[in-house]
Structure 1
């Protein structure tokens, strides 16, 4: 039978804190204080403002995909035509100029739907989502309603 052996610090070892650094001794000094006091203190540079750190470019294709997904999240919107690998005539388009964006969406909606209220809801939701996810400002959103489709059949009792 074996007995677990615990490790105890000997008087020559300095105890370590949770991060593995030497712990402070009761007098407020640690083993390396003398060496650190001789070294000059390093100056901490102030943080660089965000506008001077660099630039983030979001391609138009990414913005158009975000807009298409956001439009599809609105109730009674059935289809948003999205640019994909096999369709060369993109139905969802984004034009990005600096931080200003213009969008064009083609959607199919459920019949009967109040088109004016539905397109306003799509416009608000898409603008909010694109601004939240990309940080771009939305100049305007053109929405073309390209079709109306019957509502999905309800399951019977």
Structure 2
């Protein structure tokens, strides 16, 4: 009668920490963060750019900086809080990294008035 090959495998199984490591590039985490910032916003302003993110990863911690554009008027503080919260949650869930810091930088405010002026200049 032959020995069961699975019995030997169970006793020689290698622990996960010994098998190797998974490395996620900073640019991948930045894409996750930018997408999460977009998800957190009610909408991207007409004529505005999608959020951009830069990330610094050190071991299993990611420090994130998000640059975005908002409509004016809006609750700027509320939008920034929502972005910080959602980015931290999504990066942790998808990349398995702690996010101790999410800096949000509002690069531009878009108002109906400035859009009308810009359209007038293009004609």
What's the TM-score once normalised by structure 1's chain length? 0.60
Q: Does 1:74 align with 2:33?
A: no
Long gaps (5+) in structure 2: 116-123
Compute the displacement of 1:81 (Å). 4.4
Compute the displacement of 1:76 (Å). 3.2
How many pairs are equivalent? Answer: 106
Compute the displacement of 1:41 (Å). 4.0
Which residue of the partner structure matches residue 131 of structure 1?
92
**The structure with more helix, counted as a fraction of residues:** 2
Long gaps (5+) in structure 1: 1-36, 83-91, 153-157
User: Which of the pair has the greater relative contact order for Cα pairs under 8 Å at 6+ separation?
Assistant: 2
CA RMSD of aligned residues (A): 2.1
**8 Å contact from structure 1 (residues 100, 138) kept in 2:** yes
- Pick aligned residue for 1:150 from 93, 111, 115: 111
Q: Secondary structure at the match of 2:67?
A: strand
Distance (whole Å) between structure 2 residues aligned to residue 102 and residue 122 of structure 1? 14
**The structure with more strand, counted as a fraction of residues:** 2
Q: Does 1:103 align with 2:79?
A: no
Q: Does 1:45 align with 2:15?
A: no
Compute the displacement of 1:77 (Å). 4.8
